[in-house]
Structure 1
Amino acid sequence: MAAVDSALLAMVAQRCPRCHHGPLFKYSAWNLRKFDEMYEDCVACGQYYEPEVGFYWGAMYISYGFSTGIVFLTGILLYYLANDPPVWVYITAVAVIVVALTPLLFRYARVVMLYFFAGIRYDSTLISEPPS
């Protein structure tokens, strides 16, 4: 995969914050046994992905924020689109959605943590692509 200049696109693609080329995770998000396995460092530029011991503990707060957003959005949608159903419908819908999205919530919480709090800056000179 070619390097991406946009930090937002690199975050969505789950790429290295330094070169925007190397992948952060080893396996697909839908490989439920291994969705959480990250590379220790970038396969393209060598950037180490854990700047300090316990760095990703902070990603739990980001994941909590994502989950809170899902609860809020699901509640609003159910209220208006399903005509305020019983409480068990809210609870079941939120539980199913959050459990189904757990691999993505986990990954994007780590991506956000790495991009915003690791102090790693993009360097476009690290990866040179052959001219096309």
Structure 2
Amino acid sequence: MENNKYKLDVWPAFIHAKCPRCRRGDMFANKMYGFQGQVMHKTCSHCGLVYEREPGYFYVAMFVSYAFNVAEMVTIAVAISVLTGSHNPWLYVTIILAFAVILSPFNFRYSRVILLYWLTPGLHYHPEMSQDKTN
């Protein structure tokens, strides 16, 4: 029964970029799309987890972001080909670059979330840390 609860709780926490250890604290200080840029908290406001596990830790997130970009660009190129049948390279370049710019905040945020949730050894969900703090 506990295993099913774990599976149900992980996706809303992941989508809303909550702390991977307690699933309560926010990882980012602002919205994904805005004029302030993306500001990531240094620690979880609920359990105190330090998000940057070591100096330069988030450089690894660039590889995840690269995989996102490749998948998005291939998907968009196939969609352009199927929908328009055009062989004009400038059409492909223009649309693909526009989508790359539009999706860059998404890629930035979720590459870091994926890195913390699934690609960091030893970082797991602790249900006891999800409970409300008592003084």
How many corresponding residue pairs? 125
Deviations 1:12-68 (A, max 9, x none): 111100011111000111123331x11111001111111111110011111010000
Letter of the 2:25 partner, please give it. Answer: G
- Name 1:94's counterpart in structure 2: 96
Q: Which is richer in helix? A: 2
Cα distance in 1 for partners of 2:33, 2:17 equals 14
Which segments of 5 or more consecutive residues in structure 1 lack a partner in the other structure? none
Moved more, 83-92 or 12-21: 83-92
Q: Among residues 113, 116, 122, which one is paired with 2:115 in the alignment?
A: 113
Letter of the 1:54 partner, please give it. Answer: G
Cα distance in 1 for partners of 2:62, 2:47 equals 27
Moved more, 84-93 or 62-71: 84-93
Q: Among residues 6, 9, 12, which one is paired with 1:9 in the alignment?
A: 12
CA RMSD of aligned residues (A): 1.6
- Name 1:71's counterpart in structure 2: 73
Which segments of 5 or more consecutive residues in structure 2 lack a partner in the other structure? 1-6
TM-score w.r.t. the length of structure 1 is 0.87
Residue identity over aligned pairs, in percent, reads 29
